[in-house]
Each structure stands twice: as structure tokens, then as C-alpha cells.
Amino acid sequence: MAKFYSIAIMHDYAFVLCIEEKNKKFTIVETEELDFIELQKYVKNKKQLFITIEQKFEYSTNLAVPLAIAKSNNINNYLFYKIKELYPNTDLLLNFKKISKQNDEENITYNVEAIDEKAYLEALSFVNDFSNIKSATTNKFALLSLANRCLDSNSYICVYTYANTVLILAVEDKEMIFSRLITIDAVTPESMQMDIAENITQTISYVNNQFREIDFQLLAISGSIALDDVVPQHIMMFSDINISILYPNTFIKNLDAEESQKYILALGSMFVEKNNQFFPKIIKGIKQFNLITTVVLFFTLFSLLGMAYFSFNESNRYNDLVDKNEMLQQRYLYESSHTKMLPEKELENYEYTIDLTNKYLDKVPTDMLIAIKPLMILDKPSLFKYKVDAGKVIFEMEFEKKFTELVALYKFEKEFNKKLEEITKKTDIEKTTTVDYKQLIYRAQIKTKKNEKLNSRKRRR
């Protein structure tokens, strides 16, 4: 049974669901409402994170791309610089997809979604290891994904409210064609209700006028508005549209209808399609790195297992020889008192075999390789060597990794040093680490500690 975590962030506050999936059925195991600091502690060492984030800056538009560019690999650059002209001081992160209805023979029209990459990464900073993020998006796509799963209607308007925030979507054929995020400033709860109702009815009117060819059959409400009687009644008075409450209870177990309205966005984050997810380069890089590392680790572990298996077999042979030697010694003592002694040559052969086995086991650094495996998962070593000196395995390994961004260097340094400290607590090794923040290079060296007694004997000689 797969277990994962769905997280929705609104106003520096997080709604968290721990969910188990079996045969495409979802069961809520745990629900949490946490502030941002508590969230950092909660997700530490947790994997399979599905995250949706509130964003103040979101830009959506349709852009026509000339056929020559559309057929090349420069679509992303073309769209990026078109929007960058409008927002030159914003770090942009884009998603785009070709719209289904094309009426221009010379151009191909794409729907483009842009967000502030810097603000987006700051909102994700509660995650210690970006590779644990399975899906990441903004709240309007989480709402769209859940609504598409719950509603049979092809064309509808969807509304989600939380505190003083109103999120409105217009959807045709499962695709979002309009979105609006509204912040309400009101003094009293009564005026808040009236302002929310007024903004929703005005938006419905605007959508109907803007998309006259579409018959919006349904208004699906969710969040705090779904638990309110006043606002839906006011909307019904001024808008000729059927109203329904967005309930995901048909495929979600262990979450009642009223409680589910708190977790609408968290539930939606589970079903976001890949083309509606946002992954900055730093996260993509980490995920690709971990994928390559997993492949390399597989072959490394395969080799280690082979060595361990071989060493295990040798150890068994050694133990068998020890047992056999003990039996022979007992037999020797018995036979020596009754018969003539065994030939000296035969005893020497046994001793020689045991000695060879001991020497082989002493010279294979299997234990050390297993101990430093967590570091090899993080990065492939630039130097790896060992030798046997005076019967002792002398081990040396170096790591050197270059980064393009300071944030990536900082995260790697933090994780690498943490694992290195854990290893040095259990293993008798020396460690040296250096970080060049100007050139963005991290270096580390680990090796067997020097044997002072051995060195002093060498000096006397």
C-alpha cells in the first residue's frame, strides 16, 4: 500500500493529509493543520510530497507562435522573452501547452502560465530534500484537478474561498480558460460575506460576457463558502446558474463532507497533471541527479553484494577450516597416544590454508565500503584507493563537486556533512572538508586514521 503526503499552503499556513492508496482508492490516515515552522519539522525525512502553493503573482495568457519557431526547439525561449518584456524584474518560471482550438494557419497558439520563480522556491523552502517532491503546483491547478475529477460537466465555473481569499476558475472541456484571485478587505463578517458574494456574481457575469459561445451549466463551490448559507443564496438571486458543492467523498475514505472542505486544495494536489506542475531548474536537476545516482548505486551495490557474497563464502570456508582443524587437533591428541603422529607436511598444509584465508579477509575493505555508502549515494567519489600496510587496510577517498547555484551548494554541503558526521561517529576515520563559495566547489577527503604506534616504530628503524 503506497503512502504519500498532500500539502496545501495558504497564508503561511498548511493543510496536510497523510494518505494511503490501494487499487486507486484513497484513505486518509492523518490530517494536520500546521504553521510554516511546524511544517518544516513535520515533513523532515518524509517522501512522496504533493504540494500546492498560494502565489500572489500568476500570469496567464494565450500567445501565437509563428510556425517556423513552433516547429523548432525554441518555443520555450520565444514565450519566455515575450513575457519577460512585460515583467523584466521578475524571475519567471513558465508552463505552456498548445490549445486545442487553432484558427490561424500561420501561427500556433499556446496557453502560457507564468509564476515568480524566486517566491515559488521560497514557499518550497520547508522541504529539506527537493528530491522528495513528487508534484508541485499552484492552488488554481490543484482546484482545477480536483474539480475535473469530481464533476461530470464539461463547462463550469468553480469557486474556492478561504478566509478573505476567493479563487474563481472557468473551465471548458476540462481545460482552464479563465482564473481570478481576489483578496477581500472587509471590517465585519457580514460585509465580508456581501463582498465575497458581489465579487463572485460580477466575475460570473464577466465570464459569461467574455465567453458567449460557452454555456456554463454549473457553479461548483468549495472551501468556507460551501459551509455558508448566505453567500450561495445571494449568488442564486443574481446569477442564473445551478450551484453544486464540490465533494470528493466518493473516492476518498475516512474524511467527512464538512471536514473535506478544509482540505480541498490538498486533495487536488494529488491529481495535478504533469503539464500543470511547476519545477524550477534546481529541483529538476536534483531529481535527475538522484535518478542517475540510483542507477549508479544499483551497479555499485551489485558489486558490493558480489564482494560481500564472496567474502561470506570465504568466511564460511574459514569457519569450516577452523572447525575441521579443531577436530583434527582432538583427533591428533587421541591418535598420538595410540598410534604414530600425523605427518608434519599434512599439518603444515592445513595451517597454510588457514593463513591464506585470514590474509584475504584482512585485505578486502568490504566493511569500509558499506560504512561510506551514504556518501556514495550523494556523489560519486573523484578518488578511491586502498592498500595494505603492516597487515592493516589503509583507505582513502576524495569527493569534489561543482555547482552552478549557491542554494544547491548549500543544500548539498548540509546533507553531505550530516552523513559524514554520522559515519565518523561509528568508523575510525579522518575527515577533511573545504568549501569554495566563490567558485561553488565542495571538497571532502576521508581516510584511515594514522597508527601512531606503527609510525613511531618506523621512525626508530
Report pLDDT for 159.
97
Residue 455 has pLDDT above 50, yes or no: no
Give me the residue spans of the domains in the chain.
280-364, 366-461
Lowest mean pLDDT among 26-30, 73-77, 286-290, 413-417: 286-290
Q: Could you tell me the pLDDT band of residue 350, with boundaries at 50, 70 and 90?
A: low
Report pLDDT for 101.
78
- State which CATH number among 3.30.980, 3.30.70, 1.10.3470, 3.10.450 fits the domain covering 366-461: 3.30.980
Residue 223 has pLDDT above 90, yes or no: yes
Cell of 231: 453567500
Report pLDDT for 263.
95
Report pLDDT for 278.
92
DSSP string, 155-171: EEEEEEEETTEEEEEEE
Q: Could you tell me the pLDDT band of residue 231, with boundaries at 50, 70 and 90?
A: very high
Instruction: Report the alpha-carbon distance of residue 442 to residue 25 in Å, rounded.
Output: 45
Instruction: Report the alpha-carbon distance of residue 405 to residue 245 in Å, rounded.
Output: 45
Query: Locate cell 498532500: which residue?
Result: 6
> In 3D, which of 449, 130, 110 has the Cα closest to residue 278?
130
Residue 250 has pLDDT above 70, yes or no: yes
Higher pLDDT, 347 or 207: 207
Q: How many helices (H) and strands (E) does the chain have?
A: 15, 18
For range 76-103, the mean pLDDT: 88
Report pLDDT for 391.
63
Task: Tell me the CB-side half-sphere exposure of residue 108, using CA atoms within 13 A.
Answer: 15
Report pLDDT for 331.
62
CA dihedral 382, 420, 283, 296 (to 10 degrees): 50
Instruction: Report the alpha-carbon distance of residue 216 to residue 241 in Å, rounded.
Output: 8
Give, to the nearest 10 degrees, the angle between helix 344-362 and helix 281-338. 170
Q: Could you tell me the pLDDT band of residue 461, with boundaries at 50, 70 and 90?
A: very low
Report pLDDT for 448.
80
> In 3D, which of 381, 422, 423, 371 has the Cα closest to residue 401?
381
Higher pLDDT, 233 or 356: 233
Instruction: Report the alpha-carbon distance of residue 185 to residue 191 in Å, rounded.
Output: 9
For range 68-93, the mean pLDDT: 87
Q: Are strands 242-245 and 218-223 parallel, antiparallel or unpaired?
A: parallel
Phi, psi of 436 (to 5 degrees): -105, 100
Report pLDDT for 406.
82
Higher pLDDT, 153 or 458: 153
> In 3D, which of 127, 173, 459 has the Cα closest to residue 287?
127
pLDDT, tens only, 110-162: 999 999 999 999 999 899 888 899 999 999 999 999 999 999 888 999 999 99
pLDDT, tens only, 3-31: 999 999 988 889 999 999 988 889 999 99
Residue 436 has pLDDT above 70, yes or no: yes
Report pLDDT for 330.
62
Phi-psi region of 71 (alpha: psi -120 to 50; beta: other; left: phi over 0): alpha
Look up residue 173 and give its DSSP letter. Answer: T
Cell of 228: 455558508
Question: Is residue 399 within 8 Å of 375, Cβ to Cβ?
Answer: yes
For range 56-74, the mean pLDDT: 85
Give, to the nearest 10 degrees, the angle between helix 281-338 and helix 406-426. 20
Report pLDDT for 154.
87
Q: Could you tell me the pLDDT band of residue 458, with boundaries at 50, 70 and 90?
A: very low
Average pLDDT in the chain: 82
Higher pLDDT, 426 or 358: 426
Report pLDDT for 317.
62
Residue 452 has pLDDT above 50, yes or no: no
Query: Locate cell 579477509: which residue?
Result: 361
Cell of 401: 563537486
Higher pLDDT, 270 or 410: 270
Residue 47 has pLDDT above 50, yes or no: yes
Report pLDDT for 149.
93
Residue 273 has pLDDT above 90, yes or no: yes
Residue 400 has pLDDT above 50, yes or no: yes
Report pLDDT for 333.
55
R_g of the chain computed on alpha carbons? 33
Burial profile 12-46: b = 16 or more Cβ within 10 angstroms, e = fewer: ebbbbbbbbeeeeebebeebbebeeeebeebbeeb
pLDDT, tens only, 275-330: 899 988 877 766 554 554 444 455 555 555 555 555 555 555 656 666 666 666 66
Look up residue 266 and give its DSSP letter. Answer: H
Q: Could you tell me the pLDDT band of residue 394, with boundaries at 50, 70 and 90?
A: confident
